[in-house]
Amino acid sequence: MDFDDTPEEASFRAHVRSVLEEHASELLHVAPGEPVDARSREAELRDTQRVLAEAGLVGVTWPREYGGQGGTLVQQAIVGQELGRARVPTLINHIGIGMCGPTVIAHGSDDQRSRYLARLLRADDVWCQLFSEPGSGSDLAALRTSAVRDGEDWVVNGQKVWTTLAHVADFGILLTRTDPSRPKHAGLTMFVVDMHAPGVTVRPLRQMSGGADFNEVFFDDVRIPDSERLGEPGEGWRVALTTLMNERVAIGGAGSDIGPSPESLTAHARDRLPALSPEQQVLARQAVGRALVASLATRYTGYRRFTTLSQGGVPGPEASAGKLGGTAAARLVTDAGVRLLGDEAVLGATADGDDTWQRAQAYVPGIAIAGGTDQVLRNILGERVLGLPPEPRTDKSAPFSSGGRR
């Protein structure tokens, strides 16, 4: 693909820059590498997304009938690049925009689309994705959170974990088990859940980076109206696949960087190498070289996928390669960044208080789990892209309630 803007793309980029300059005083800006805590800066992040949405820079690829701009993926990428250039942080509702909203568009009712989508784009409502559970690990279909029909409602009990932004979310998409007598992939149903409903409890999970981006969420007799169901009862796995495909494109599947960019590593190396001993410089240069090769290879491979999507393709299992390669590259980049610190690498921050690279190295392992572990992604690529024989699964057709036994 041609990495230069077409005349139309250059015009769109100029428009985005103009909009960002016009609204600069209304947007949150951060320094390079500065962490943005959604817990303490929620109001600023919501205001920033609202301003951007009203200016037409949120939901660029969404259909106009649902509040989007009907634009292209390239235009969406240009908006992302220009937001980064202007030091505007990641949108607080990025999960809602990239995963929950597309799922509601694909599987929701007209009433749900009318009530939720426009508010989601403006961050009037922040959304989260409630998939992972403590007892099922990376085997999503082994989830045990139950939903039992009671009149016009469903009563939900169970626990989710590693839920990003649950602490500020107003709504979430929730995958539940509604028929344990069917095989584990068949007895699932998806709902929209009000995160402020009675019986919903959110607890933060403190990470080794010091942050608390993830949460565990408990559901105790939470009542969800049947009108909040996404898709048919028992068809939740099909709905969830829509979410997962969009998630893997959003997390590195279209050439976006996971963790610090290769450019930030290059700048860091330029500043730090002279301070290292000759022996340390040799090791650091090797680490930087490996990281840059891996990172740029992942980026450009993602751009090829991005081109396919821009030409009308749909997200598929091959997007898993971008997430798998992206997290591997992120580990190399952050490791090289820490090595460049020399003796200060053993400390939580440098002498002047900068902890950018130590914090990134502590944060990346969590991203490696989000959206599917490396092992899950390799299985997807092996079976669904390369056509290799699947792993033996004794529980694939057995009723879930039998524990995988017939």
**Residue carrying structure tokens 């090791």:** 283
Q: Does the pLDDT at position 178 exceed 60?
A: yes
Q: Say yes or no: 37 and 81 in one domain.
A: yes
Q: What is the CATH number of the domain that holds 150?
A: 2.40.110.10
Q: What whole-number distance in Å separates Cα of residue 166 and Cα of residue 6?
A: 40
Better-predicted residue by pLDDT, 230 or 385? 230
Looking at the domain assignment, is residue 161 inside a domain? yes
Say if residue 317 is in the same domain as residue 192: no
Per the CB < 8 A criterion, the answer to whether 126 and 92 are in contact is yes
Q: Which of 162, 111, 119 is nearest to 140 (CA)?
A: 162
User: Which domain does 182 fall in, by range?
Assistant: 127-233
> Are 137 and 208 within one domain?
yes
Q: Are residues 257 and 363 in the same domain?
A: yes
Which residue, of 71, 91, 111, is where some domain finishes?
Answer: 91
Same domain, 56 and 16: yes
Distance between alpha carbon 169 and the CA centroid of its chain, in Å? 15
Of 82, 216, 247, 344, the active-site residue reads 247
Residue range 318-346: average pLDDT? 87
Most confident of 62-76, 180-194, 296-310: 180-194
Phi and psi dihedrals of 69, rounded to 5?
A: -110, -5
**257 with 382, same domain?**
yes
Q: Does residue 271 lie in a domain region?
A: yes
Q: Tell how many helices (H) and how many strands (E) occur in the chain.
A: 12, 8
Question: Given pLDDT bands bounded at 50, 70 and 90, which one contains residue 261?
Answer: confident
Residue 49 lies in a domain: yes
Residue 19 phi/psi, 5-degree rounding, is -65, -45
Residues 273 and 211 in one domain: no
Mean of pLDDT over the chain: 88
Type of residue at 319: A
Other CB atoms closer than 10 Å to residue 258's CB: what's the count?
A: 24
Cα–Cα distance, 285 to 271 (Å, whole number) = 13
* Same domain membership, residue 86 and residue 20: yes
In a domain, 218, yes or no: yes
pLDDT at 236 over 60: yes
Q: Is 152 a catalytic residue?
A: no
CA distance 13 to 22: 14
- How much is the average pLDDT of 292-304? 85
Is the pLDDT confidence value at 359 over 90?
Answer: no
25 assigned to some structural domain: yes
Query: Does 43 fall in a domain?
Result: yes
Q: Quick one: pLDDT band at residue 404, thresholds 50, 70, 90?
A: low
269 & 371 share domain: yes
Residues 214 and 274 in one domain: no
Check pLDDT > 70 for residue 6.
yes
104 in a structural domain: no
Give the domain CATH number at 347: 1.20.140.10
List, for residues 109-140, the tens digit of each pLDDT value: 999 999 999 999 999 999 999 999 998 877 88
Q: How many domains does the chain have?
A: 3
Q: Is residue 240 part of a domain?
A: no
Q: Are residues 283 and 317 in the same domain?
A: yes
Q: What is the pLDDT of residues 182-203, one digit of tens each?
A: 988 899 999 999 999 999 999 9
Q: 61 and 135 share a domain?
A: no
Percent of the chain exceeding pLDDT 90 equals 53
Answer whether residue 392 shows pLDDT above 80. Answer: no
Tell me whether residue 314 is exposed, middle or buried, using C-beta atoms within 10 angstroms of its C-beta: 0 to 12, 13 to 18, 19 or more: exposed
List the beta bridge partners of residue 192: 173
Query: Which residues make beta-bridge pairs with 229?
Result: 191
What is the rounded distance in angstroms from the CA atom of residue 130 to the CA atom of residue 21?
Answer: 36
Query: What pTM does this model have?
Result: 0.84
